[in-house]
């Protein structure tokens, strides 16, 4: 090779170096070439993860299956659709911004025709879950069903209609609600106590009505409200406390204490049940949380308030969900066309909710990006629902029969 040829080759390689190196660097930084106007523009991406895996359509063009990171997308709004045979599809409008990955990591696809099994043959009035077992009430008795052994134990006779059953964490006591009172069932002695009457007598009839009774974490106390005052009564000796806290509009268990809405300020506080000291969770006012049943997500980061036709979610901690920052005290509302009978956290994600209406079981998501995916999962009459996270089984009581299906 002559000197001139070597010089030409050098300049060619130098030119390629000058052109390619910046291009490679820009490519690595997420930039891409717009072939229409031959300009280099920044890009973003979309990450999708679903259970089960599903086919991805980006603006109706197939882009592989989940989980998938779709790179080098021009900043704009994209229509995403996930499909799988025999499953409800999932749709979402996702915004891509420069240098940012838009995420949807907790997508749940539900089967179009879920397999439903009859769990208990007897006619049932109410039930609750204890780990993997079931406590249920018929018109004549309250029974314990050990599912793994397929063994039943009659715990008590009953002649009253039973609306609901709650169990203590130590599984020694059961709180049974009837149309007229609350009964406390001792599993060891198989005896029931009329809790309302005991509280009336022990308070010398200053407490005539109680509401929202709940076991504490140890199962040795029951908390309840009366005239906006919080009390407790021990399960073993039935010792009634003085008012633990006054001016409470609504409450539920939270970590090792309780969380409540204060009457005068309309703010949410956490109550330490040892010191009886309160600390403000948020300086915001929540007038809409006065009524409705409260339920805390399993990770203690969100509060659900069930209303007649809506569900309100309050974020108790700042958290990031699907690329969106949720500030402490932020509230979002999920509107439902039908009357809501029950609402339960889908504890597998803490980002979905199971809803019971007079005609169906619905499954909805917290993701605010449109459209909100709300699925009519099972059509049935006035179902009473409970979800077993360990077994991934949804139980529901409808027309006096208890059924189950896997989610």
Give the span between the Cα atoms of 274 and 277, in whole angstroms.
8
> Hey, what are 94's tokens?
């996702």
- State which H helix or E strand residue 200 sits in: helix 195-202
Question: 30, 99 in Cβ contact below 8 A?
Answer: yes
Going by C-beta distance under 8 Å and a sequence separation of 6 or more, which residues neighbour residue 37? Answer: none
Residue 268 has pLDDT above 50, yes or no: yes
Locate 315 and state its tokens: 């974020």
**Least confident among 2-16, 122-136, 186-200, 277-291:** 2-16
8 Å CB contact between 92 and 369: yes
Instruction: Out of 1.10.3470, 2.60.40, 2.30.30, 3.10.20, select the CATH number for domain 43-108.
Output: 2.60.40
What pLDDT sits at residue 37? 53
DSSP 87: B
Statement: residue 86 has pLDDT above 80: yes
pLDDT band for position 21 (cuts 50, 70, 90): very low
3-state class (DSSP) for residue 4: helix
| Largest separation between any pair of C-alpha atoms in the chain | 114
Average pLDDT for residues 279-288, to the nearest whole number?
94
| pLDDT for the residue numbered 15 | 55
Give the integer Cα–Cα distance in Å for 11 and 5: 10
- Is 120-244 in CATH node 2.130.10.10? yes
Q: pLDDT tens digit string along 319-365?
A: 988 888 999 999 999 999 999 999 999 999 999 999 999 999 999 99
- What is residue 25's predicted lDDT score, i.e. its pLDDT? 45
**Two structure tokens written together for 186:** 């001792």
The two structure tokens encoding residue 378: 């099972």
User: Do the Cβ atoms of 209 and 226 come closer than 8 Å?
Assistant: yes
Task: Please give the C-alpha separations between residue 160 and each of 173, 218, 379, 383, in angstroms, as whole numbers.
Answer: 18, 28, 29, 21
Q: Are 74 and 96 in contact (CB under 8 A)?
A: yes
Annotated domain spans of the chain = 3-34, 43-108, 120-244
Beta bridge partners of 293: 306
* 217-263 pLDDT tens trace: 999 999 999 999 999 999 999 999 999 999 999 999 999 999 999 99
Q: Record the pTM.
A: 0.89
Q: Is cis: bond before 52, omega within 30 of 0?
A: yes
């Amino acid at each position: 090779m002559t000197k001139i040829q070597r010089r030409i080759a050098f300049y060619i390689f130098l030119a390629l170096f000058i052109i390619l190196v910046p291009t490679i660097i820009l490519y690595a930084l997420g930039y891409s070439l717009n072939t229409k106007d031959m300009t280099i523009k920044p890009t973003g991406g979309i990450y999708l993860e679903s259970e089960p895996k599903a086919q991805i359509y980006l603006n109706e063009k197939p882009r592989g299956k989940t989980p998938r990171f779709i790179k080098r997308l021009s900043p704009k709004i994209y229509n995403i659709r996930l499909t799988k045979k025999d499953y409800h599809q999932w749709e979402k409008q996702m915004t891509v911004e420069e240098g940012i990955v838009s995420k949807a990591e907790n997508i749940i696809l539900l089967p179009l025709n879920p397999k439903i099994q009859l769990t208990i043959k007897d006619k049932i009035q109410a039930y609750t879950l204890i780990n993997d077992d079931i406590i249920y009430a018929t018109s004549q008795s309250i029974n314990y069903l050990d599912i793994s052994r397929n063994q039943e134990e009659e715990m008590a006779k009953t002649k009253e209609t039973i609306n609901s059953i709650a169990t203590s964490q130590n599984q020694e006591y059961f709180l049974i609600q009837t149309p007229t009172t609350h009964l406390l069932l001792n599993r060891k002695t198989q005896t029931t106590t009329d809790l309302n009457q005991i509280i009336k007598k022990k308070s010398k009839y200053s407490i005539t009505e109680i509401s929202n009774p709940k076991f504490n974490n140890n199962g040795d106390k029951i908390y309840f409200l009366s005239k906006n005052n919080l009390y407790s009564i021990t399960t073993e000796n039935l010792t009634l406390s003085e008012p633990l806290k006054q001016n409470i509009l609504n409450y539920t268990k939270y970590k090792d204490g309780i969380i409540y809405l204060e009457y005068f300020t309309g703010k949410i506080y956490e109550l330490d049940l040892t010191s009886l000291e309160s600390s403000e969770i948020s300086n915001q006012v929540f007038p809409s949380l006065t009524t409705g049943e409260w339920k805390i997500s399993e990770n203690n980061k969100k509060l659900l308030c069930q209303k007649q036709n809506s569900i309100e979610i309050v974020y108790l901690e700042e958290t990031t969900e699907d690329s969106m920052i949720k500030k402490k005290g932020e509230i979002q509302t999920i509107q439902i066309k039908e009357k809501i009978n029950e609402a339960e956290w889908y504890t597998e994600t803490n980002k979905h909710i199971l809803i019971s209406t007079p005609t169906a079981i619905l499954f909805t998501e917290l993701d605010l990006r449109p459209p909100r995916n709300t699925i009519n999962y099972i059509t049935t009459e006035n179902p009473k629902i409970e979800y077993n996270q360990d077994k991934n089984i949804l139980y529901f009581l409808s027309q006096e029969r208890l059924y189950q299906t896997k989610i």
